[in-house]
Amino acid sequence: MNVPTPHIEAKTGDIAKTVLMPGDPLRAKKLAETYLTDAVCYNQVRGMLGYTGFYKGKRVSVQGSGMGIPSIGIYSHELFNFYGVDRIIRIGSAGAFDVSLDVGDIVLGMGACTNSNYAAMFNLAGTFAPIADWNLLKAAADAAEKLGIKYKVGNIVSSDTFYGEDKKFSEGFRDMGVLAVEMEAAALYMNAAKAKKQALCILTISDCLFKEGSATAEQRQNAFTDMMEIALEIA
């Protein structure tokens, strides 16, 4: 496919090799305005804002993905395959299964389980296990250590639903040692694997499913700075 695409109006060369990808386009805007110098907006299609600028001399882009596997599936596919992006680092919120996690804690998604049927389009003769790129994962852990940020590495699960009726979903994945639930990482990891690119999901805990704890809507948009700083350090 030629660029621009139906979803991204950028021209060839407008987007950096490394893209930070929050679900919320307003979080992308805040990150660009707060951390990047000489930031230029390259995408406003469907309100899914994208910017390219510089962080400590490194050229970096930040692009909203929207919510859910179908949406991040579109944006990550186009960035990897049509815009020459080498690595995408998702930064987003998650609900904690692990009771040792508190609101504001960081989770690095080593692997991403899912109840989505996204993998079916690859026509595999078995079950694919979506995983993060090791080099990005190690770099993120090292950056968190350097910055003094509490974090945990482990399995997460990407759910196709936000409002679920089945308590066995959360309990079952919790009992398998899955740390937290979100809605995008599995598709990102699969698209990266298919395109021979790099991907990582860095999450901030916004809710605790098996104990008290929940972030406000404003906190979800504006206050989750630790994961942004880790992502920028490894960009």
pLDDT at residue 166, rounded to an integer: 77
Phi (first) and psi of residue 222, to 5 degrees = -115, -25
pLDDT band at 221 (very low <50, low <70, confident <90, very high): low
d(CA 232, CA 218): 22
Both tokens of 125, joined, read 């003769």
d(CA 138, CA 157): 20
pLDDT reading at 196 higher than 70: yes
Both tokens of 4, joined, read 């621009």
Model confidence pLDDT, tens digit, residues 140-177: 999 999 999 999 999 999 999 998 767 799 999 999 99
Q: What are the residues whose beta carbons fall under 8 Å from the beta carbon of 225, sequence distance 6 or more?
A: none
DSSP string, 125-187: SS----B--HHHHHHHHHHHHHHT--EEEEEEEE-S-SS---HHHHHHHHHTT--EEESSHHH
pLDDT band at 25 (very low <50, low <70, confident <90, very high): very high
CATH fold of the domain at 18-234: Rossmann fold (3.40.50)
Alpha helices in the chain (DSSP H): 25-35, 69-82, 134-147, 167-175, 185-195, 217-222, 225-234
Phi (first) and psi of residue 13, to 5 degrees = 95, -10
* Catalytic-residue membership of 142: no
Cα dihedral 8, 12, 13, 16, rounded to 10, equals 40
- Maximum distance among all Cα pairs of the chain, rounded to whole angstroms: 49
Q: CB count, 10 Å around CB of 37? A: 10
pLDDT at residue 164, rounded to an integer: 77
> Which residue in the list 14, 142, 160, 207 is annotated as catalytic?
207
Query: In DSSP terms, which residues pair with 96 in a beta bridge?
Result: 180, 208
d(CA 163, CA 140): 30
Going by C-alpha positions, the residue among 119, 83, 71 that lies closest to residue 197 is 83
Percent of the chain surpassing pLDDT 70: 96
d(CA 149, CA 18): 22
Q: Kindly state the average pLDDT of the residues 215-226.
A: 70
